[in-house]
Chains A and B, each alone.
Chain A
Amino acid sequence: MARFEGTADYVATEDLKVAVNAAVLLRRPLLVKGEPGTGKTVLAHEIAKALGAPLIEWHVKSTTKAHQGLYEYDAVARLRDGQLGDERVHDISNYIKKGKLWEAFTSPKLPVLLIDEIDKADIEFPNDLLQELDRMSFDVYETHETITAKERPIIIITSNNEKELPDAFLRRCFFHYIKFPDRGTMQAIIDVHYPGIQKTLVSKAMDIFYDVREVPGLKKKPSTSELLDWLKLLLNEDMPLEVLQAKDPTKAIPPLHGALLKNEQDVMLFEKLAFMARRQN
């Protein structure tokens, strides 16, 4: 199995590589947490790309139940077909809809299974999956068959920390917390996304970006993906460098700040701080 070393589009830090490789080689789920916008979901895409494996995505919602990942029995369709005298009605397996875990277990090529935002679901959701993730097999009661994974799939699980996860579940996973990238890593990420971008522009933009993150009391700190969006906007608008360089305190709000601050309270807070800074000068 090839090692994951990051890809041309994704900058992986050393600790992330170790965690991913451990999860891939030992075939244990990797639980990824981190601030929103630090690339948790993207990671699964990039691992799949790097390993040349198909990616199966299971996006979890608050209404998602664990058994939906295995299979669903469409009784209503069967009932309707029974009404119409359809021949298919005699074979119950026509009405079994495969879930994402089933897909991953029976995939012809070793897949990467992404269970996205597992904390969105009910508090019992992870517990309900323990057995299946451990044994890598489950029973289909309607057809009396057992689905067993040919090979344990690579499983990436992301969480936004909205709910705590049960210990028994955590014990089975490797864990990685994507911390906010430092300046060096950020520079590398920008280089990957916008090759050939003007160095001074990036440097000025990053100054402003990290300043904004330092503002105390922000409801939502801007993250990597927001910086990238903002840079894209600056490039699109052909923003002259002088605007960013201007240390004029009357223009303390960065241009196109809508890409960085996503909350009207944050914008107001920022304006207030800018106003106070102006008065001090």
Chain B
Amino acid sequence: MFFNFVDELRAAGIGASFKEHLVLLEALDKDVIEQTPEAFYYLSRATFVKDEGLIDRFDQVFNKVFKGLLTSYGQTPIDIPEEWLKAVAEKFLTPEEMEAIKSLGSWDEIMETLKKRLEEQQKRHQGGDKWVGTGGTSPYGNDGYNPEGVRIGGESKHKRALKVWEKREFQNLDNTRELGTRNIKIALRRLRRFAREGSADELDLDATIEGTARQGWLDIHMRPERHNAVKLLLFLDVGGSMDPFIKLVEELFSAATTEFKNLEFFYFHNCLYEGVWKDNKRRWSDRTQTWDILHKYGHDYKAVFVGDAAMSPYEITHPGGSVEHFNEEAGTEWMRRVAHVYPATVWINPVPEKQWNYSQSTKMIKELVGGSMYPLTLAGLDDAMRELTRKKH
């Protein structure tokens, strides 16, 4: 029963499992719900969807799978306000088409045409060619294009006739993040090194028992609480060729900030030079000298660079090679210094590993960090953290 439903859900990226399918069947078997389409929709939603961001996607799949099967339940046909239709028609139909429709003179025909047109665009949009705009130039870019959801289900007073899942009320919660921060956090956990530091506020049971046995009276021993003592310096490349990876880097960054107590982060552009900054808005006025960092943070810090290492080789090797300012010392010098002060240094590169060999600068950077360059994937992160743990300091 409903096998294609599960398949469709999985195809849409909702992690429906066999177990959940069984639960759904069990619930139906036990008559949890009354036999109405709405109740079935609610039940299957509660069973399969575990993240409110996926509810909209679920609604679409539900509509696709059960369309036609559930419509015969005495519901009035969809009542779409005329002004809405006009507005959409203006937006999506060419003037010629408008004329053609006007001559047809029937709202049914308009509906049909509109629908076809919308479906066609929806498909193309998902196919990912020209409808997916970058930087918001395409009319359908950005928030994604949505034919039925927003407008009908939105603030219109006529929405009562729509079926619940067709309203798609959850549409703007959809998230398409591929790599959840949870997975990143788990990968970062590899780097944890527990140590007892700070005030003694925890009872040391073993020491207390031993002390008591020795002394013959209650001899309480306290110790500091155990926590993650890893110290991390995070250098993030921003701007230019890093733009496509912003989302990925943001996720890594947010995961790292929650995972490490002793985390310092700095931004740089393309290659590390004499200055870095903490706030991109004030990158020119409020810089931190790289020397200060090297002096301030001890050898026990671990340095993690995140960048695509894609630049002109001169930016690394030559003084004055930077594209943004005149650097008195070459990037190589700075990279060497960092690698010297922080023996545990890795470079995490969001560009797929296969392409590294085609870029000379990537190879050079990799050499500068002692070969410790890892791709920004879960496996890559895992390796990078392992490498950092391996190096004692």
Contact = CB atoms under 8 A, between A and B. Distances in A.
A174 B32 contact: no
B269 to A, nearest CB: 30
B52 A21 contact: no
Nearest to B169: A179
A176 interface: yes
Interface stretch (A11-19, A39-47, A186-194, A257-265): A11-19
B218 A79 contact: yes
Q: Please indicate which of the listed interface residues B49, B52, B205 has the most CB atoms of chain A within 10 Å of its own CB.
A: B52
B43 A163 contact: no
B182 A26 contact: no
B15 interface: yes
Contacts, number: 82
A14 B13 CA distance: 26
Interface stretch (B18-26, B71-79, B314-322, B365-373): B18-26
Given A79-B208, A79-B209, A164-B180, A25 B30 contact: yes
Nearest to A20: B46
A75 interface: yes
A8 interface: no
B42 A15 contact: yes
A27 B218 CA distance: 47
B385 interface: no
A163 B52 contact: no
Contact of A25 (B32, B38, B42, B209): B32
B42 A75 contact: no
B321 to A, nearest CB: 42
B49 to A, nearest CB: 6
Given A14-B38, A177-B52, A25 B27 contact: yes
Nearest to A24: B32
Contacts of B30: 25-26
A205 B160 CA distance: 25
A38 B361 CA distance: 53
Contacts of A80: 218
A15 to B, nearest CB: 4
Given A33-B52, A163-B182, A18 B33 contact: yes
Nearest to B203: A76
A218 B295 CA distance: 41
Given A76-B203, A123-B185, A177-B55, A22 B50 contact: no
B17 A171 contact: yes
B182 A123 contact: yes
A171 B22 CA distance: 11
State which size class the interface on A falls in.
Answer: 20 to 34
Given A19-B42, A25-B32, A175 B209 contact: no
B113 interface: no
A31 B52 CA distance: 11
B170 interface: yes
A28 B47 CA distance: 10
B207 interface: no
B170 A179 contact: yes
Nearest to A80: B218
A170 B14 CA distance: 12
A263 B212 CA distance: 52
B23 A28 contact: yes
B326 to A, nearest CB: 40
Contacts of A173: 50
Nearest to B216: A83
B169 A26 contact: no
A15 B50 contact: no
Nearest to B39: A18
Contact of B19 (A15, A165, A171): A171
Interface string B42-76: 11011101111001000000000000000000000
Contacts of A181: none
A52 interface: no
B73 to A, nearest CB: 15
A177 B52 CA distance: 6
Interface string A47-91: 000000000000000000000000000011001100100000000
A255 interface: no
A174 B47 contact: yes
A171 B46 contact: no
A166 interface: yes
Nearest to B49: A175
30 contacts: A14-B42, A15-B42, A18-B33, A18-B42, A18-B46, A19-B42, A19-B43, A22-B32, A22-B46, A22-B47, A25-B30, A26-B23, A26-B30, A31-B50, A75-B209, A83-B217, A83-B218, A123-B182, A163-B182, A164-B180, A164-B182, A165-B50, A170-B50, A171-B19, A171-B20, A172-B19, A175-B50, A177-B52, A179-B169, A179-B170
